[in-house]
């Protein structure tokens, strides 16, 4: 902020009478101001030429509509002349950028308005501190000075009152304290007593005169000759032109030259870290605005909450499902390869392909990369025991198959490789079959009729949830040899499961198997599935699915974002006057922008956190009542949700924030 040197100049010696020997502090030269109105131009100020010197107290008097406020706004750098020049301490204001003008307003001018223009949701002290926040002053220094100023203006006991709890005279005194907060070398008061009773008005005038004696330059606008009589210099204005400019000899000239000069500097030392403080204050202001409109904020947030909940829970559901599938698959062991007849998964002719045989199984078993190869055949059967009959699935398997699937017996034993080789008529039944067929009876050693073949039960499997078996189905397992010869009367296999030996990669084993079987069959009439490929295809399928559903969930987030934008636009419109006040006391465009942007981001961020938290809560409740629903929350999805919600705040808050920062301060102030 190294641009403003306006007041660094050596102040002139001696400050005697109007203009005599001193350089003007404010200099207007042929200032004109016209408004566009109904297609035509209406000139309100017709070439005002005027110089004001340090330490003066000037009253500008004129009837209503004569252009006093228009002139005052130009003097205070809230407005620009359409023609002519206006210099502050020698610098032409037309050369200054908006931020420089904001700095001028903030550090050197102090505004006092007819309607006080205090911020309703802030206490007296907080109102007084606003200009110093924009100046980047540390909190404790601000608190010290605001308390001092309020004390001095007789409001020591009302520091924490809101404007609505103060009388008009008290509010005006708060606004005087605010004007003085950053120094207020030049105090601009537009009808400061206009809304006050005679007594309060007199008090305010007394304060202004006192300030003038201490060295503040005071410019005061009034339509009341009695008020104007308090000033040493009275300028009469009529229809936008100066009618007279006279010294009021009844008022003594202030003596304290020393004082007035010492006042011409910034009361605050520039501090680093001011940026952080400004940010913090913008944050607090945004928070207060949100709290002040609780219901509306909550409803706006609801859109974001729902959007975030949708995204997070969809991702958690998809992850949960895919993790569950993965866990089931990896419980099979990651180094198994299954060979099926047919050309691919779901090949309708695979049932007719009969080339996968026991000889293939034996050939595979002999390979060095094969730890074990087991066959399986499968068919639906009728189980009978006494007068009980049940539909069941009979699986002919190798002895190894139990190891591959991790099946364990709760009673009896599994069959051995020898029993498989001997076509033994034994079987292992699952828990369901044991319950249904035998009830409380011990099934071991008993005989079952499978279709018409008798089998001896040698073992019962432990009850186990398996993704491949319906929980209410009955399954029995028998040597595949016996199954093929006695039950199915077929000489081909439904599948071969190869367990890859340690030290061999699944991919290499897969390729070798393909080569081997192709040379044996003369063509590829089989297909291969390893747990690796299954996992890969499942994870890519779940990813696609998750992305698709997330895209839909994101739409709800965008809708939430539009809600935020809508509310922020309303908020800007509603708080136009507040924005005007903040600009008048020195907020830069970037300060206003930051305030609204932070507000939007906060609504979205809080909504985002609430959405994540609610998803956890709702998710836990659902999981408690429906255990089959598996949710897997990832830190990444939570992070992404929070990131997305702040991004939405920035994107959708940007337009309202920008339109707020671009408001014309005069028009904003005029809004009620
Ligand atoms: P005063 O403060 O002396 O009562 P103002 O400076 O407020 O008078 O207004 C002077 C004239 O300029 C009035 O006739 C008013 O209608 C006109 N005027 C003020 N502001 C605007 C504006 N934004 N657009 C058009 N005309 C305006
Ligand atoms: Mg006016």
66-75, 240-249, 265-274, 662-671: lowest mean pLDDT where?
265-274
CA of 276 to the centre of ligand 2 (A): 38
- DSSP for 609-623, please give it: HHHHHHHHHHHHHHH
Tens-place pLDDT, residues 580-623: 999 999 899 988 998 889 988 998 899 989 999 999 899 889 88
Dist CA 337 CA 334 (whole Å): 9
Ligand 1 pocket test target in 31, 32, 42, 44 with most atoms within 8 Å of CB:
44
Q: Which atom from ligand 1 is nearest to the alpha carbon of 64?
A: 4
Closest CA to 181 of 584, 585, 579: 585
Is the per-residue pLDDT at 4 higher than 90? no
The number of C-alpha atoms within 13 Å of 147 and in the hemisphere containing its C-beta is 6
Residues 6+ apart with CB under 8 A from 116: 163, 168, 171, 172, 174, 175, 195
Residue 157 phi/psi, 5-degree rounding, is -85, 0
Tens-place pLDDT, residues 292-303: 888 888 988 888
Which helix (H) or strand (E) segment is 458 a member of? strand 453-461
Which tokens in the block code for residue 277?
């403080």
Strand partners, 460: 411, 429
60-64, 95-99, 101-105, 354-358: lowest mean pLDDT where?
354-358
Q: Closest residue (by CA) to atom 16 of ligand 1?
A: 65
- Give Cα separations from 167 to 22, 195, 648 (angstroms): 41, 11, 43
Please report the beta strands in 69-200, taking only residues with DSSP state E, as ranges in sequence order.
83-88, 91-92, 109-113, 186-190
Q: Are the C-beta atoms of 254 and 213 separated by less than 8 Å?
A: yes
User: Ligand 1 — pocket residues by CB below 6 A?
Assistant: 35, 37, 42, 44, 62, 64-70
Q: Are the C-beta atoms of 88 and 125 separated by less than 8 Å?
A: no
Range 88-112 average pLDDT: 90
Q: Which atom from ligand 1 is nearest to the alpha carbon of 62?
A: 3
Tens-place pLDDT, residues 366-406: 888 888 888 888 888 898 988 888 899 888 888 877 876 77
Which helix (H) or strand (E) segment is 330 a member of? helix 294-330
Tens-place pLDDT, residues 546-575: 788 878 877 888 888 888 888 888 888 888
Is the per-residue pLDDT at 16 higher than 60? no
Q: Which atom from ligand 1 is nearest to the alpha carbon of 190?
A: 2
Ligand 1 pocket test target in 34, 59, 62, 65 with most atoms within 8 Å of CB:
65
Which tokens in the block code for residue 95?
């050369």
Cα 98 vs. chain centroid, distance in angstroms?
A: 30
What residues flank ion ligand 2 with Cβ within 5 A?
A: 69
Q: Are the C-beta atoms of 220 and 231 separated by less than 8 Å?
A: yes
CA of 65 to the centre of ligand 2 (A): 7
Percent of the chain residues topping a pLDDT of 90: 31
Dist CA 498 CA 530 (whole Å): 9
3-state secondary structure string across 31-56:
EEEEEEECCEEEEEEEEEEEEECCCC
Measured CA angle at 7 (ends 2, 13), to 5 deg: 150
Q: For residue 197, how many other CB atoms are within 10 A of its CB?
A: 12
Dist CA 162 CA 119 (whole Å): 9
Closest CA to 7 of 385, 203, 268, 248: 268
Dist CA 516 CA 449 (whole Å): 39
Ligand 1 pocket test target in 32, 33, 35 with most atoms within 8 Å of CB:
35
Is the per-residue pLDDT at 661 higher than 50? yes
Predicted TM-score (pTM) of the model is 0.68
Tens-place pLDDT, residues 317-353: 888 887 877 777 666 556 778 888 887 666 656 566 7
Q: Are the C-beta atoms of 297 and 290 separated by less than 8 Å?
A: yes
Residues 6+ apart with CB under 8 A from 645: 304, 308, 557, 604, 605, 607, 608, 611
Strand partners, 459: 412, 428
Q: Closest residue (by CA) to atom 27 of ligand 1?
A: 35
- pLDDT tier at 261 (50, 70, 90 boundaries)? very low
Which tokens in the block code for residue 35?
């408004």
């Amino acid at each position: 902020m190294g641009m403003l040197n306006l007041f660094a100049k050596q102040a002139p010696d001696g400050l005697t009478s109007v203009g005599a020997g001193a350089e003007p502090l404010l200099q207007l030269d042929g200032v004109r101001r016209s408004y566009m109105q109904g297609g035509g131009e209406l000139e309100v100020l017709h070439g005002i030429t005027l110089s004001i010197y340090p330490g003066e107290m000037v009253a500008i008097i004129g009837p209503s509509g004569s252009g006093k406020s228009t002139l005052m706004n130009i003097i205070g750098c809230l407005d620009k002349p359409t023609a002519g020049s206006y210099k502050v301490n020698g610098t032409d204001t037309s050369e200054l950028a908006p931020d420089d003008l904001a700095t001028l307003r903030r550090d050197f001018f102090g505004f006092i308005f007819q309607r006080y223009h205090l911020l309703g949701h802030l206490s007296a002290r907080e109102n007084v501190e606003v200009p110093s926040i924009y100046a980047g002053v540390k909190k404790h220094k601000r608190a010290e000075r605001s308390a001092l100023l309020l004390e001095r203006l007789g409001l020591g006991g009302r520091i924490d009152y809101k404007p609505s709890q103060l009388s008009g005279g008290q509010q005006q005194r708060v606004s005087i304290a605010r004007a003085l907060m950053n120094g207020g070398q030049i105090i601009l008061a537009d009808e400061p007593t206009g809304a006050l009773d005679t007594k309060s008005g007199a008090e305010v005038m007394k304060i202004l005169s006192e300030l003038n004696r201490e060295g503040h330059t005071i410019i005061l606008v009034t339509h009341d000759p009695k008020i104007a009589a308090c000033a040493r210099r009275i300028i009469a204005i009529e229809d936008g032109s100066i009618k007279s400019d006279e010294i009021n000899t009844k008022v003594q000239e202030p003596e304290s030259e020393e004082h007035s000069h010492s006042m011409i500097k910034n009361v605050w030392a520039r501090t680093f870290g001011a940026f952080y403080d400004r940010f913090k204050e913008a944050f607090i202001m945004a928070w207060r605005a949100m709290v002040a409109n609780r219901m509306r904020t909550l409803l706006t947030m609801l859109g974001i909450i729902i959007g975030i909940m949708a995204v997070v829970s969809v991702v958690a559901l998809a992850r949960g499902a895919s993790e569950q599938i993965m866990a089931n698959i990896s419980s099979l062991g990651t180094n198994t390869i299954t060979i099926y007849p047919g050309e691919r998964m779901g090949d309708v002719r695979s049932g007719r392909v009969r080339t996968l045989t026991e000889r293939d199984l034996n050939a595979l078993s002999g390979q060095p990369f094969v730890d074990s190869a087991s066959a399986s055949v499968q068919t639906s059967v009728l189980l009978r025991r006494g007068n009980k009959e049940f539909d069941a699935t009979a699986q002919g398997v190798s002895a190894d198959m139990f190891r591959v699937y991790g099946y364990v017996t709760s009673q009896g034993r599994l069959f051995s490789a020898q029993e498989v080789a001997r076509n033994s008529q034994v079987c292992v039944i699952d828990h369901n079959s044991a319950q249904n067929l035998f009830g409380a009876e011990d099934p071991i050693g008993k005989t079952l009729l499978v279709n018409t073949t008798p089998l001896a039960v040698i073992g019962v499997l432990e009850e186990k949830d398996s993704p491949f078996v319906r929980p209410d189905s009955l399954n029995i397992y028998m040597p595949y040899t016996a199954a093929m010869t006695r039950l199915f009367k077929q000489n081909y296999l439904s599948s071969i499961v190869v367990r890859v030996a340690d030290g061999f990669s699944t991919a290499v084993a897969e390729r070798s198997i393909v080569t081997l079987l192709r040379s044996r069959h003369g063509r590829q009439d089989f297909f291969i599935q390893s747990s690796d490929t299954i996992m890969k295809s499942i994870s890519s399928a779940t990813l696609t699915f998750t992305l698709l559903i997330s895209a839909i969930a994101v739409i709800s987030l965008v809708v939430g974002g539009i809600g935020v934008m809508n509310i922020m636009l309303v908020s800007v419109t509603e708080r136009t006057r507040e924005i005007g006040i903040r600009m008048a006391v020195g907020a830069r465009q970037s300060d206003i922008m930051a305030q609204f942007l932070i507000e939007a981001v906060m609504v979205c961020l809080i909504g985002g956190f609430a959405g994540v938290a609610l998803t956890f809560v709702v998710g836990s409740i659902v999981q408690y009542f429906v255990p089959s629903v598996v949710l897997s929350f990832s830190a990444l999805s939570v992070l992404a949700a929070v990131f997305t919600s702040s991004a939405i705040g920035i994107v959708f808050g940007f337009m309202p924030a920008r339109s707020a920062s671009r408001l014309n301060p005069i028009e904003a102030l005029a809004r009620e």
